């Protein structure tokens, strides 16, 4: 059952259209990430779900009820903002209890709810401290606790981990996944960090310029990106995209000719873009010559920057320990099953026909 639905939603601010044709159906209990670059409309979408902004057109429903005109307090949602805005003069316990106190919940019940949230978030030893005496991650957990005690149907989280350092982020990421698993509540999670979306979400809504680009599982957005934008936005480093020409059983660019199985693509001869992820560019054998320009050692792998004869730059990911030197000329291969073709426009659609052939296991980071 759909729990949260946006139907053909548009949002304009004056003459500026921030969101258009937005269609998203979120299932009950699902963890959905809204992912996209700065300004693409993620927070605006979330604020409309929360009732803090109203759609200019279209329909928003929560739990089968149209909520376009329903006030935030009556939507059975809890929102955690990027800046978690705790009350500095209140203790952790009072901060967590605040939404219940405002609602007139009796003291005993409040204490029990705070205790439960504190256990879940491992905040028990900190209940009497003030926010200023907490680390960023602890403050973050208090903000989550404050949302939790309301026991809403839907959690809305706007970049809740963005103020944390890398180590704490990855810790809190795991905590949130675990929390979602235990609570089974619907969560809508805004982030511009694709790793966060990939690791946490059941499905990812990839947005760009106020439009939904693709709404699918992490596996699908990675292995079957709908268009060039999704292909370049998902994955680190980005998918290589090479402009060239499709002719018969080959893709060509300058002196480079790559054989293709045309049955895998619904594309006509002519200009197109070949996409290959760095892990599918292998160095050592092959029919394309390239020069090594840069080798970055991340510890567990090497990111190799290559230049084709005409200067086109490519990235390859290879296992650590390979002996590669800058200036060296090597032969490279594009793994045939991992080749994507896209229409040549900036937002060109993916032209592969098969659903699964390009699936390659994603490596951990």
Ligand X SMILES: Nc1ncnc2c1ncn2[C@@H]1O[C@H](COP(=O)(O)OP(=O)(O)OP(=O)(O)O)[C@@H](O)[C@H]1O
Is 194 a binder of ligand X (CB under 6 A)?
no
What are the structure tokens assigned to 231, written together?
A: 């292909």
Is there binding between residue 156 and ligand X (CB under 6 A)? Answer: no
Closer residue to ligand X in complex, CB, 40/272: 40
Please list every residue from 21 through 80 that binds Mg ion, using CB under 5 A.
43
Instruction: Name which of 127 and 205 has its Cβ closer to Mg ion.
Output: 205
Contacts of residue 342, Cβ cutoff 8 Å, sequence gap at least 6: 227, 228, 231, 241, 272, 273, 274, 275, 348, 349, 350, 351
Instruction: Out of 44, 139, 214, 316, point to the residue binding ligand X (CB under 6 A).
Output: 44
15 interacts with ligand X by CB under 6 A? no
CB of 357 to Mg ion, least distance (A): 36
Q: What are phi and psi of 320, to 5 degrees?
A: -65, 150
Which residues in 283-299 are b (16+ Cβ under 10 Å) and which e?
beeeebebebeebeeee
Is 208 among the residues that bind ligand X (CB under 6 A)? Answer: no
Instruction: Answer yes or no whether residue 87 interacts with ligand X by CB under 6 A.
Output: no
Minimum CB–partner distance for residue 44 and ligand X (Å): 3
3-state secondary structure of 351: coil
- Residue 106 near ligand X by CB under 6 A: no
Residue 192 binds which of ligand X, Mg ion, none (CB < 5-8 A, kind-dependent): ligand X
Angle at 74 between CA 204 and CA 44, to 5 degrees: 40
Distance from CA of residue 240 to its chain's centroid?
Answer: 19
Torsion of CA 319, 224, 226, 259, to 10 degrees: 70
**C-alpha count within 13 angstroms, C-beta hemisphere, residue 280:** 22
**Residue 22 binding ligand X, by CB under 6 A:** no
Please tell me whether residue 39 binds ligand X under the rule CB under 6 A: yes
Using CB under 6 A as the binding rule, whether residue 284 contacts ligand X is answered as no
Which of ligand X, Mg ion, none does 39 bind, CB closer than 5 to 8 A by kind?
ligand X
Residues that bind ligand X (CB under 6 A): 13, 16, 18, 36, 38-44, 192
Residues that bind Mg ion (CB under 5 A): 43
């Amino acid at each position: 059952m759909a729990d949260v639905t946006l139907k053909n939603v548009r949002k304009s601010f004056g003459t500026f259209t921030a969101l258009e044709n937005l269609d998203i159906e979120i299932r009950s209990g699902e963890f959905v990430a809204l992912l996209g670059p700065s300004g693409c409309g993620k927070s605006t979408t979330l604020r409309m779900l929360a009732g803090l902004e109203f759609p200019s057109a279209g329909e928003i429903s929560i739990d089968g009820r149209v909520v376009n005109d329903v006030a935030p307090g009556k939507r059975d949602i809890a929102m955690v903002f990027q800046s978690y805005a705790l009350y500095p003069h209140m203790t952790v316990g009072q901060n967590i209890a605040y939404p219940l106190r405002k609602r007139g919940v009796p003291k005993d019940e409040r204490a029990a709810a705070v205790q439960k949230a504190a256990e879940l978030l491992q905040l028990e030893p900190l209940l009497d401290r003030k926010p200023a005496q907490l680390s960023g991650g602890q403050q973050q957990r208090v903000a989550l606790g404050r949302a939790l005690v309301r026991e809403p149907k839907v959690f809305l989280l706007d970049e809740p981990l963005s103020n944390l350092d890398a180590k704490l982020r990855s810790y809190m990421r795991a905590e949130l996944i675990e929390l979602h698993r235990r609570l089974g509540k619907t969560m809508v999670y805004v982030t511009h960090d694709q790793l966060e979306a990939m690791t946490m979400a059941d499905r990812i809504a990839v947005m760009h310029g106020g439009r939904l680009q693709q709404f699918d599982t992490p596996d699908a957005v990675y292995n079957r990106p709908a268009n060039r934008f999704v292909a370049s936005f998902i994955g680190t480093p980005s998918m290589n995209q090479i402009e060239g020409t499709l002719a018969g059983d080959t893709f060509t660019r300058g002196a480079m000719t790559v054989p293709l199985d045309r049955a895998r693509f619904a594309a006509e001869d002519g200009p197109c873009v070949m996409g290959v992820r760095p892990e599918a560019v292998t160095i050592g054998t092959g029919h394309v010559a390239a020069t090594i320009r840069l080798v970055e050692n991340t510890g567990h792998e090497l990111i190799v920057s290559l230049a084709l004869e005409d200067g086109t730059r490519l990235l390859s990911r290879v296992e650590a320990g390979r002996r590669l030197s800058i200036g060296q000329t090597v032969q490279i291969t594009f793994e045939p099953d991992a080749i994507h073709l896209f229409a040549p426009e900036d937002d060109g659609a993916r032209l592969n026909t098969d659903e699964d052939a390009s699936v390659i296991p994603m490596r951990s980071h």
